[in-house]
Amino acid sequence: EVQLVQSGAEVKKPGESLKIACKGSEYGFSSYWIGWVRRVPGKDLEWMGIIYPGDSDTRYSPSFQGHVTFSVDKSVSTAYLQWSSLKASDTAIYYCARRGMTIFGVAEYFYDFWGQGTLVTVSS
Amino acid sequence: QSALTQPASVSGSPGQSITISCTGASSDIGGYNFVSWYQQHPGKAPRLMIYDVNNRPSGVSDRFSGSKSGNTASLTISGLQTEDEAHYYCSSYTDINNLEVVFGGGTKVTVL
């Protein structure tokens, strides 16, 4: 069964750096885009962007461009989301999700498998 | 304000049918057949229930169905069961702001 397993909850101070992980299993990790989605407590889901593990092609939402970085390590089937300088407003649950694909290999606009989420708390 | 508008809550009795609406614009729901729906139980990962407006992934009950008319998409749950109590989120492709996907604010379904 396809699984995305995310790293555990983090508590950080403003200005600190952080890298959270999303490990895929039981599918061709390199062949499916991985998306990142944020949920700030009490607010909506927000699409942050996507990365293609095969060649690290990356697309960021304008709201997150410049503030976060996506990366992958194909050798361990893991995608990463990182911050170089956290803000209190980054406090949220972060989900990774596998972007769906047609039987012809065309990427779709839905996410068929999701990680369990990583709670990031940024507080002084 | 959410990019896509959903009612905050919908309720129904076991066995009944309920419908959740999701209203967008011509730049998302109205212009493309890339609407998807997700179910989320507390503390769990979202689960894909409907994709491309009205397609069910393998393993999703046929009690769940999707449709679209103009700028509004809908998710219908027939034969409501207690395990259907959860939050439901709609999503759509969008062609604005260099985004790819936008989400609704979510609807809490309560089984009375």
What pLDDT is recorded for position B99? 82
What is the percent of chain A with per-residue pLDDT over 70, rounded to a whole number?
A: 100
Task: Report the residue of A4, A39, A45, A99 to disrupt the B interface, i.e. the one with the largest count of B CBs within 10 Å.
Answer: A45
Residue A44: closest C-alpha in chain B: B105
Q: Is B106 on the interface with A (CB under 8 A)?
A: yes
A34 touches chain B (CB under 8 A): no
Backbone angles phi, psi at A17, to 5 degrees: -100, 160
Does the pLDDT value for residue B65 go beyond 90?
yes
CA distance B19 to B34: 19
Q: How many helices (H) and strands (E) does chain B have?
A: 0, 9
Nearest CA in chain B to A112: B48
| Local structure of A122: helix, strand or coil | strand
List beta partners, residue B37.
Answer: B50, B90
Asked if residue A93 lies in contact with residue A119, where contact means CB atoms within 8 angstroms, the answer is yes
Contact list in B for residue A110 (CB cut-off 8 A) is 34, 36, 48, 51-52, 91
pLDDT in tens, A63-90: 999 999 999 999 999 999 999 999 999 9
In this predicted structure, the answer to whether residue B57 has a pLDDT above a threshold of 90 is: yes
User: Radius of gyration of chain A from Cα atoms?
Assistant: 14
pLDDT higher than 90, residue A106: no
Whether A25 shows a pLDDT value over 80: the answer reads yes
pLDDT in tens, A40-70: 887 888 999 999 999 999 999 999 999 999 9
Classify A89 as helix, strand or coil. Answer: helix
How many CA atoms are closer than 13 Å to the CA of A68, on its beta-carbon side?
Answer: 27
Q: Which of A44, A93, A94, A116 to mutate to test the interface with B (most CBs of B within 10 A)?
A: A44
